[in-house]
Amino acid sequence: MVVNGKKLNIGYGDHTVVRDMDINIKAGKITSIIGPNGSGKSTVLKALTRLLPYKQGSVFIDGRSLKDYSSKELARNIGVLPQMHSAPPDFRVKELVGYGRMPYQKWYQKNNSEDDKIVDWAMRSTGVWELREKSIHECSGGESQRVWIATVLTQQPEILFLDEPTTYLDIAHQLEMMQLVKKLNKENGIGVVMVLHDLSQALEISDWIVVIKDGKKYDEGKPEDVITPKMMKEVYDVDCDIIHIAGREKPLIAYKEIC
């Protein structure tokens, strides 16, 4: 499955945030969208997933216009974990994950045994199986984020869109989240599109990186080709070196010393 955005103009009200954006998401790959705060990363993600209607341009999923998909059909093909989500704190983990089956049901239908199997699978794949009887309130930040991933995974999407999935998590849980993303991509062949703030993580995990600056695409390509001292200076106004270390497949970003 491929997602193509062409000449997208996206914004809120009269305010245009993203201009003339061409973006292509490849099947089965991990794509990261990076850029400074307010550059329009999340806006692009929202437009590609129809959470926000775009003003001009077009989005095609597998060659078919995004506008031609019904809400449920879209939800069966792509899964989106927005930045803002909440559940009543007393909802149980397995119930919440169960909502991921909604795109496959009529409004009056409940989860059947087939649905339950998929819910179980999603909970096992994301490592929240042990938590299934707990309430959301009882889960830690890292745990609840995995529960939400499980919910979206239950939709059985071909591509997962994650909007800053590691924000608010401590470093251990951030890495755990990245490992989970990699695992889902590798073992299940699910494509992933993420908005990421941590460039080291983006560098390490991504197959493809799209850099956005001031609502326009600055560059895209393989991580090593895109994340360069020049890009860091021009996009983030940050000085850094990219260091290769023996025994490590991916390079590291060394920021200039603070003092």
Partner 1 sequence: MDSTKKRKVSALRVGTVWLLLAVLLIVLSLTAINVGSAGYSVKQILTALFSSEKSTVKTVVVNLRLPRLILALLIGASLSSSGAILQSVMRNPLADPGTIGVSAGAGTAATTILLLFPQLTGSVPLFAFGGAALACFLIYTMAWKGGVDPTRIILSGVAINSVLGAYNALLQMLHSDSLEGVLAFMNGSLSGRSWSQVHTLMIYAGIGLVLSFLCIKSANTLQLGDEMAKSLGVNVSVTRVLLSAVSAFLAAATVSVAGMIGFVGLVVPHISRILVGSDYKQMLPTSMLMGAVVLLAADTLGRTVVPGMEIPVGIVMSVIGGPFFLYLLRKRGKMIGS
Which residue ranges make up the site for partner 1 (CB under 8 A)? 46, 49-51, 53, 70-76, 79-82, 84-92, 95-96, 99-100, 102-103, 107-108, 134-135, 137-138, 152, 155
Residues 6+ positions from 149 with CB-CB distance below 8 Å: 81, 126, 160, 162, 165, 177, 180, 184
For partner 1, which is the closer residue by CB, 46 or 217?
46
Q: How near is the Cβ of 28 to partner 1 at its closest, in Å?
A: 21
For partner 1, which is the closer residue by CB, 152 or 205?
152
Q: How near is the Cβ of 88 to partner 1 at its closest, in Å?
A: 3
Q: How near is the Cβ of 61 to partner 1 at its closest, in Å?
A: 14
For partner 1, which is the closer residue by CB, 139 or 226?
139
CA–CA dist 78, 50 (Å, integer): 10
CA–CA dist 39, 44 (Å, integer): 10
For partner 1, which is the closer residue by CB, 8 or 139?
139
Question: How many C-alpha atoms does 157 have within 13 Å on its Cβ side?
Answer: 31
Q: What is the dihedral of CA 192, 197, 199, 203, to 10 degrees?
A: 0
Q: How near is the Cβ of 216 to partner 1 at its closest, in Å?
A: 25
For partner 1, which is the closer residue by CB, 55 or 216?
55
Structure tokens at 135: 């309430």
Residues 6+ positions from 135 with CB-CB distance below 8 Å: 89, 90, 91, 92, 93
Q: How near is the Cβ of 223 to partner 1 at its closest, in Å?
A: 27
Structure tokens at 198: 């941590």
